[in-house]
Amino acid sequence: MRSEFDLINHIKANYTLNVIGDDCAILPKDTQSDQLFTVDLLIENIDFRLEWTTPEFLGHKALAVSLSDIAAMGGSPKYALLSLGVPDNLWKTSFLDRFYEGWHRLATEFEVELVGGDISRSPSGLTIDSFVVGEAARGQAIRRSSAQAGDKMFVTGPLGGAALGLSLLEKGERFKQLDGCPGQAAILRQLKPRPQVAFGKLLLNNALASSAIDISDGLSSDLAHICEASGVGAHLDAAAIPIAEGASLEMALHGGEDFELLFTVPADRAAEAEASGAIEIGHITGDAGKVTISGAAGIEELKPMGFQHF
Amino acid sequence: MRSEFDLINHIKANYTLNVIGDDCAILPKDTQSDQLFTVDLLIENIDFRLEWTTPEFLGHKALAVSLSDIAAMGGSPKYALLSLGVPDNLWKTSFLDRFYEGWHRLATEFEVELVGGDISRSPSGLTIDSFVVGEAARGQAIRRSSAQAGDKMFVTGPLGGAALGLSLLEKGERFKQLDGCPGQAAILRQLKPRPQVAFGKLLLNNALASSAIDISDGLSSDLAHICEASGVGAHLDAAAIPIAEGASLEMALHGGEDFELLFTVPADRAAEAEASGAIEIGHITGDAGKVTISGAAGIEELKPMGFQHF
């Protein structure tokens, strides 16, 4: 079966498309600004399960994943369009009202305006497609492709929480309330992720990051994307990787959907990145395409191995 | 069951959203231009049937419906993003290649650039979401809301062909080739509609239309949208409505998906509209919300009655 990446590469090869490859497409808006376009498709029982979440959380997450793409490039989200394919049984309930409640609350927080959308009946499951348009200062959007050997590598927060939450949901646990236990916090991280929009803007405004990506597929996979796009390698210090409470190093390395940012900065600016609250986890090397990790067992090669969402 | 219009109105009422209501959202781009955003969701067995069409036709139609929204406002399409939820059985075939072939051919014709998208597995049917960004001269996009009593009303071509095509597909006919018979032409109109982008641009460039909409829901429904948005009524001359070969007046009045444009012009510019090749079919009245039609049986009220696509 071909993967999403195969398909995008196939389209690029066949149709001389060269703007795909970052979290968002970057297109000129006016003399001051570029526009960022991103779209995220969420399909029931592939990307989410209704019995694991609430309509409000799902509305939140549908927007959050797109805001995270804007955040990864340092942009400011502006407008959204939302398409929904809705099965008959959900029309008759308060589902749509509650879904929009969650969507709208996050949109209000980030000053995103819903300007359009489409809705259709669906003969089977719920389908959600979220488009977000953002802006960034002209030529300043942070790319994946400009990491350089010697750059230091940072993440904005602990990893593995969303993967732990997923594993708990699979075992039958559900979100009730934040009770101080890591399990409930992890499930909430999985169901209601925080997009790092403010941090992305800080990186752009200070021209601090040489590259960035949001951790949606998992650290090992998303780091591989940066290495491939930049033609570099990377070395991770396992002991430095911040791990969400209750999660394992494995979850932190390969679990997706934490939606923290992974970014690189020139070595002489590492102190600034640290002062911003980010955590240094390694550095970029000149060994193109190779990612290594140093841990208890010495230095090993790390292959990208994103968790399947199910 | 609530309809798409109910939901949009509900969202507008609850979230003080006021840019929805035209074929596209209109947002400022720079000092010269506005941007037009539109999205169209197509769901298998609701909006199309794979056994009735070809992958190439479906790729064409997925883009054509969005280009038609841009055309209705006089805009020039620029960029597209495409989301696909693809069932396992289609991954293994040439379906995606052929779908993109049809999509890309139409995109090339209208100089639309694919800048992004998303793809996911789908546990059941195929889902397609098409997002198109267009441009129009600042403040010049043609709205639904500015028709005035006394304006003359025009369509760009014959109506009812797509509805005839749909009825033939339902009876088991399939497209083979254009053979001079109206049935095959009608099926092609249903499966591979032509967006009236050039005509829309002509209307905008000459500041000719006081309002416009594309006929996607059906003449009676789309005229009702103009009347509601503009606070006017309308009168149709049944004998003047151009009917596709083989179709009925009923199909021309209520059949959707012809994707011709319906537009109004001030009475003193009707000759220009006619010279452009459009067909005059009635006029706008001051009787808000009321649409009448004169035919063999005298003058009757015409209620919006769009065909269900299935």
List, for residues B133-177, the tens digit of each pLDDT value. Answer: 999 999 999 999 999 999 999 999 999 999 999 999 999 999 999
Q: Taking CB atoms and an 8 Å limit, are B119 and A31 in contact across chains?
A: no
Q: What is the C-alpha separation between B187 and B184, in angstroms, rounded?
A: 5
* Predicted local distance difference test score (pLDDT) of residue A293: 97
Q: What is the C-alpha separation between A36 and B38, in angstroms, rounded?
A: 16
Question: Tens-digit pLDDT profile for chain A (310 aa)?
Answer: 445 555 555 555 554 444 446 789 999 999 999 999 999 999 999 999 999 999 999 999 999 999 999 999 999 999 999 999 999 999 889 999 999 999 999 999 999 999 988 988 999 899 999 999 999 999 999 999 999 999 999 999 999 999 999 999 999 999 999 998 999 999 999 999 999 999 999 999 999 999 999 999 999 999 999 999 999 999 999 999 999 999 999 999 999 999 999 999 999 999 999 999 999 999 999 999 999 999 888 999 999 886 544 3
Q: Taking CB atoms and an 8 Å limit, are B41 and A85 in contact across chains?
A: yes
Structural contact between residues B115 and B78, judged by C-beta atoms closer than 8 angstroms: no
Q: How many residues appear in chain B? A: 310
How far away is chain A from the Cα of B79, in angstroms, using its nearest Cα? 9
Mean pLDDT of chain B: 92
Q: Taking CB atoms and an 8 Å limit, are A100 and B29 in contact across chains?
A: no
* Predicted local distance difference test score (pLDDT) of residue A21: 63
Q: How many residues appear in chain A? A: 310
Shortest CA distance from B99: residue in chain A: A11
Q: Taking CB atoms and an 8 Å limit, are B37 and A91 in contact across chains?
A: no
Contact residues on chain A for B141, CB-CB shorter than 8 A: none
pLDDT band at residue B309 using 50, 70 and 90 as cut-offs: very low
Q: Taking CB atoms and an 8 Å limit, are B7 and A116 in contact across chains?
A: no
List, for residues B7-27, the tens digit of each pLDDT value. Answer: 555 555 554 444 446 789 999
Angle made by CA atoms A43, A229, A146, in degrees to the nearest 5: 120
Contact residues on chain B for A4, CB-CB shorter than 8 A: 118-120
User: What are the residues whose beta carbons fall under 8 Å from the beta carbon of B196, sequence distance 6 or more?
Assistant: B68, B71, B156, B157, B214, B259, B260, B261
- Find the Cα–Cα–Cα–Cα dihedral A203, A205, A210, A213, rounded to 10°: 50
Q: Which of A9, A43, A100, A138 to mutate to test the interface with B (most CBs of B within 10 A)?
A: A43
User: What are the residues whose beta carbons fall under 8 Å from the beta carbon of A108, sequence distance 6 or more?
Assistant: none
Structural contact between residues A116 and B131, judged by C-beta atoms closer than 8 angstroms: no
Shortest CA distance from B104: residue in chain A: A15
Structural contact between residues A127 and B43, judged by C-beta atoms closer than 8 angstroms: yes
Q: Which two tokens stand for residue A222?
A: 């998303």
List, for residues B268-299, the tens digit of each pLDDT value. Answer: 999 999 999 999 999 999 999 999 999 888 99
Q: What is the C-alpha separation between A108 and A105, in angstroms, rounded?
A: 5
* Predicted local distance difference test score (pLDDT) of residue B1: 40
List, for residues B199-218, the tens digit of each pLDDT value. Answer: 999 999 999 999 999 999 99
How far away is chain A from the Cα of B302, in angstroms, using its nearest Cα? 26
* Predicted local distance difference test score (pLDDT) of residue B162: 97
* Predicted local distance difference test score (pLDDT) of residue B23: 81
List, for residues B51-81, the tens digit of each pLDDT value. Answer: 999 999 999 999 999 999 999 999 999 999 9
Show the domains of chain B with their CATH numbers: 4-137 (3.30.1330.10), 152-301 (3.90.650.10)
Q: Which two tokens stand for residue B268?
A: 């003193």
Q: Which of A17, A83, A121 sits opposite B39 (nearest CB)?
A: A83
Q: Which residues of A148-181 are buried (b: 16+ CB within 10 A; e: fewer)?
A: eeebbbbbbbbbbbbbbbbbbbeeeeebeeeeee
Number of helices (H), then strands (E), belonging to chain A: the values are 10, 12
Q: Which of B86, B109, B111, B115 to mutate to test the interface with A (most CBs of A within 10 A)?
A: B115
Q: Taking CB atoms and an 8 Å limit, are A37 and B117 in contact across chains?
A: no
